[in-house]
Amino acid sequence: MDIGKIVSKLTLEEKVSLLAGKDWWSTVGIPEKGVPSIKTTDGPNGARGGTFSVKSACLPTGVCLGATFNIDLLEQIGKVLAEETRTKNARILLGPTVNIHRTVLAGRNFECYSEDPFLSGKLAAAYVRGLQGEKIAATIKHFVANDQETERMSISSEITERALREIYLMPFYIALKESDPWCLMTSYNKVNGQYASENAHTLHHILRGEWAYDGLVISDWFGTYSTEDAVNAGLDLEMPGPGLWRREKVLKAVQQGRIKEETIDHSVRRLLQVMEKTGWFKDAFDVFSTPERAIDVPEHHEILRNAAAEGMVLLKNNNSILPLDISKIKSIAVIGLSAKKPIYLGGGSSSVRPHYVISPLEAIQEIAAPYNVEVNYAQGAYTHSLIPYLAEDRLITLDGKEEGMMIEFFDNDDLQGEVKATKFYPNSRYKCNAIMPAGIDANHYSCRGTCRFEAPVDGEYTIGLVAAGPANMFVNGKKILSMNKMIIPGAYFTTRENEETVKITLKANMIYTITVEYRVTYRRPAVGFQIGVLEPIDDLIVENAAKVAEKADIALVFTGLNFEWESEGFDRSSMDLSGRQNELIRACAAANSKTIVVNNSGSPITMPWLDEVQGFLQAWFPGQECGHAIADILFGQRDPGGRLPTTFPKRLEDTPAFINFPGENGKVVYGEGLYVGYRYYDKTSTDVLFPFGFGLSYTTYKYSDATVQQQAETADNVSVNVTVNVTNTGSRTGQEVVQVYVHDKLAKLSRPDKELKGFAKIRLNPGETKQVSITLDRMAFGYYDDKTEHFVAEEGDFDIIIARSSKDIVQNLHFTLKKTMQWVY
């Protein structure tokens, strides 16, 4: 394909039209000139497609994948996502997310890999290689310093040059160097006072200049804030379409000499290069018009089950209570709402409607049934932030054919005239940021949502409505709520602050119809509403669960934070579990001395009850194979392979960003500088609950014969080989993560006590020994000198630390770098 020839045949107006999207997901096409429209899709843990109505594979989220420390697995995950992306007729996937876990409260931590830039970058590179090896473009995001959700569309991340280079840019650099992602997404926030999507330093000077990145740079949705500044800095594509800052504004800027036509040509060429690399020039006109498909690939099930299990981290195992021997158990108490209604993903743009979800309760029952083990369930606590929406299993069909909530669309903002289109949604959540029915203007329409459900008991119910904009709610035709709330820019509408509730008395076994009339009168990112129904509150719910626990041989307590607590669009307000979950754990532990906690969250939680339970498994957001993966670990069908990719502190006040989060007066100061995560806890000698890299196994390992040897040295690089033998000294097959940290013993500038610079995951049978070999290059020894504006690795002595975690040092080796090296990148 001669891209230059295509560009030369386009008029200036046609070229400029390609610099902004056509609609929410797709670019503009010029078919008469041979330029097709190419489609993007969210996101990092599943290819959702244009709407939430088509099912997709739901993968473990980023933090769970980060906990695997498994590069080969991440490549495999990329391949699965490539297959899924094709079923949605897209060729650009909006992932991976490689922002840093700067604060434990960041709402999007679950989507990102780690607090450590090296781990994040290596895993992202593998993910990208897997994806692009199947000709699907990866979009690494969000560039850069989008490490919180509070005021994300306006906050300025104030960062020193050293911290920017060594921590926040590093995952992007590693991924670009090792996998060349074809697309990159800018972030909403400002970096040192200038928006990331037009930032002269990060986008133009570093990305396009020093790194010579020539891939397609895409704005986050509604994350473009200027015309010539953004175009000249290197932002190629404004999304979504039709765009606010391109087209006529760009044409005028070219005519006035503020943007060169050559710059426009470069952006167009980058877009066309993505089409060429993905094979889209050949496929587009046959594929694009076909419906999106939901194809549940059986071969994916085991991959996703294994990925989820490999990410789960066993943090406590008193008296080797795990794994459970089902043949020696007569009864199991399964406590907690998340055991029955699994917490498998976080909230926001990475959400998908999964092909299926296996609950922990289902999986435990599968294992218990052949042994006639009694399994008793109790909810134990309420965990919701919003009034729970009506899921598929609670909705009654409206026409006998389609399940879910019916949405009727009108082409005006007052529900007048004929219904122009009707769609069904699987639950009582209507979220529109996608493809609208034909004839409906996404910026100006109204709709009516209708759903039916059966009240299971007599009593006082709480009905909730969340809506982005004006809405009225009716129950059996009677108006019960009216609201019109403005949504904070950058926020999602599904937060407690945006909810109105009313209490009404319902009768058991009666069917009720809830209707919402909703209006959209202007263009905005957040569009939609959610209907919630909460049954009468049981004040004795904790006490009743404890009674169930008391009667069982083993009590498994499931806790967590779902998408209402961890999501794009807002940050957490505390590290605590929601509702009465802490009380529930303590009550069950008091009732049963063999209590094990399984927690699903995307970030660390406080654990005031840790000394009272026998076991604790951190299961993250593990995707659609949630229940199977958890059961595999609990019952020993798989070794817990995960290691913490982020430190679990004892309390919020101990964390690095505590005094500088979430910022004030439009700025958040990254006052901790380089000292993020374990780097900070090492520097301040602060005790933590569980350190970075930590995780227990069901077997034991012995390290021996560690060596460090320089393999090669050139004028501007060095290659150092670290080897160690690892032996499985236990009786079970297991997985170990060997970690290599580097400490500069005498640096000119302040440096962390140690930094992760290598890791390897190995699988060992009982008695088996394997040699692990990890190669370090100049970057392992270097730091950024903001005075000389270069990276530098100083001659002198270094400690090469072989470890099981950032706190569990196995052996300290020594290496001497014989000469100083300097480089830009």
Catalytic center residues: 220
Nearest 5°: phi and psi at 530? -140, 130
Q: What is the DSSP string of 476-517?
A: TTEEEEEEEEPPPTT--S-SGGGEEEEEEEE-TT-EEEEEEE
Sign of CA dihedral 48, 54, 60, 61: positive
- Map tokens 């609201």 to a residue: 483
CA distance 494 to 492: 6
User: Tell me, what amino acid is at 167?
Assistant: I
For residue 515, the cross-strand partners are 450, 474
Which strands form 701-713's sheet, in the order they lie side by side?
Answer: 701-713, 718-728, 769-776
- Map tokens 């000389």 to a residue: 788
CA distance 638 to 735: 9
Nearest 5°: phi and psi at 417? 80, -160
Work out whether strand 395-396 and strand 445-454 pair parallel, antiparallel, or are unpaired.
Answer: antiparallel
Which of 722, 679, 751 shows the shortest CA–CA distance to 815? 722
Helix (H, G, I), strand (E, B) or coil at 730: coil
- Map tokens 């593990």 to a residue: 622
CA distance 228 to 85: 33
CA distance 364 to 361: 5
In angstroms, the first-to-last Cα distance of the chain is 32
CA distance 455 to 481: 19
User: Tell me, what amino acid is at 162?
Assistant: R
Q: Structure tokens of 565?
A: 């607590």
E strand residue ranges, 345-489: 374-378, 395-396, 405-410, 421-425, 429-431, 445-454, 459-467, 469-475, 478-485
Sign of CA dihedral 551, 553, 558, 559: positive
DSSP 441: B
CA angle 401, 359, 59 (to 5 degrees): 85
Q: Structure tokens of 728?
A: 């499985």
- Map tokens 């993250």 to a residue: 620
Tell me the helix, strand and coil percentages in the chain, rounded to 5: 25, 30, 45
Residue ranges of alpha helices (H) inside 88-133 are: 117-132
The answer to whether residues 143 and 124 touch, using CB atoms and an 8 Å cutoff, is: no
Tell me the three-class secondary structure of 151-220, residue by residue. CCCCCEEECCHHHHHHHHCHHHHHHHHHHCCCEEEECCCEECCEEHHHCHHHHHHHHHHHCCCCCEEECC
CA distance 668 to 414: 42
